[in-house]
Structure 1
């Protein structure tokens, strides 16, 4: 089964390391994927009803697997990502979507941030998060082997869950 994968980058800088790190993770699960660089949605994220934001939400909802990526800001995920996540209904806004919470940081001090801060929000929105959150160094995320240990532990689970829940959600 080919997974429909989307990378969501919540960095206030366009074409950021955050987006690139999301690509690195997506590449482990698919040859092609959708990309949503949230900064390009601009002020439409500040309210409801913006067409481009609605299209981005629809892309996430139709994905089997979503890599939700953010830089670490003040020990948590970015405000621009929060604005985007607010566009989803609580409880079932991401029902049927498997999500990988990914955060980049300069050092190990905040390595639990994806698990403690980003993952609970995704679960609250109905996403299935079968792995522990992924924290990567913003200097070494693209190094050969940077994901090897994480993929060895979680890769098969992500693929199995993402391939299994989408058909169930679509038939519900």
Structure 2
């Protein structure tokens, strides 16, 4: 198994969702003693490849990377009270139990607090269906918590608190001792 892999399911390149996902991986990895190695699957560039009937080498490589992760941060915006079709198209290409042995951390950025349950009701079940262990509550991250400036400015305060909550559960799910 690999280390941390970050899967960004936002159709927009350079999104604030991407920045939040990368910061999540960095913070949780730091607290668990795992390497983040910088492996990022950003689906913004994959749209035409995901929907093509012809197999794509770039998509196949991304699927292998996701399936080989020890910890997979899955981040996306909330679209129509659920996750985007782009992420669904990617996840649908994974075979049954492809994420067995992987700890998944779901994160959804939402415009309206009424969508806070989407991370638990929609994203968590598909990750579990693919065999992932999801030992922590998902993070429903309100857009209001994101910096209004550049997309690469992560919401460190919110993520720091969430990372501290979930890191012990991640290390337990991986069967490792929590770093001192």
Give the distance between the partners of 1:15 and 1:153, measured in 2 at CA. 27
TM-score normalised to the size of structure 2?
A: 0.82
TM-superposed CA distance for 1:154, in Å, is 1.6
TM-superposed CA distance for 1:63, in Å, is 1.0
Give the distance between the partners of 2:9 and 2:159, measured in 1 at CA. 20
Q: Which residue of 2 aligns with 1:160?
A: 172
Q: CA 1:85 to 1:107, structure 2 compared with 1: closer, same or farther past 3 Å?
A: same
TM-superposed CA distance for 1:32, in Å, is 3.3
Q: Which residue of 1 aligns with 2:72?
A: 66
Number of residue pairs matched? 161
Q: Which ranges in structure 2 are unaligned for 5 or more consecutive residues?
A: 30-34, 147-153
Q: Which residue of 2 aligns with 1:145?
A: 157
How big is each residue's C-alpha offset from its partner over 1:96-151, in whole Å with a ceiling of 9 and x where there is no partner? 11101110012311111111100000000111101111111223243342124323
TM-superposed CA distance for 1:93, in Å, is 1.3
Contact 2:49 2:56 in 1 (8 A): yes
Q: Which residue of 2 aligns with 1:132?
A: 137
Q: Which residue of 2 aligns with 1:14?
A: 13
Deviates more, 1:92-101 or 1:78-87: 92-101
Say whether residues 1:88 and 2:111 are aligned partners.
no
TM-score normalised to the size of structure 1?
A: 0.86
Q: What is the aligned counterpart of 2:111 among 106, 109, 116?
A: 106
Over the aligned positions, Cα root-mean-square deviation in angstroms equals: 1.7
User: SS of 2:107's equivalent?
Assistant: strand
Q: CA 1:157 to 1:10, structure 2 compared with 1: closer, same or farther past 3 Å?
A: same
Give the number of the structure with larger relative contact order, counting CA–CA contacts within 8 Å between residues 6 or more apart.
2
Contact 1:112 1:133 in 2 (8 A): no
Q: CA 1:49 to 1:26, structure 2 compared with 1: closer, same or farther past 3 Å?
A: same
User: SS of 2:168's equivalent?
Assistant: helix
Deviates more, 1:24-33 or 1:94-103: 24-33
Say whether residues 1:37 and 2:46 are aligned partners.
no
Divergent runs of 4+, >6 A:
none
Q: Which ranges in structure 1 are unaligned for 5 or more consecutive residues?
A: 165-172
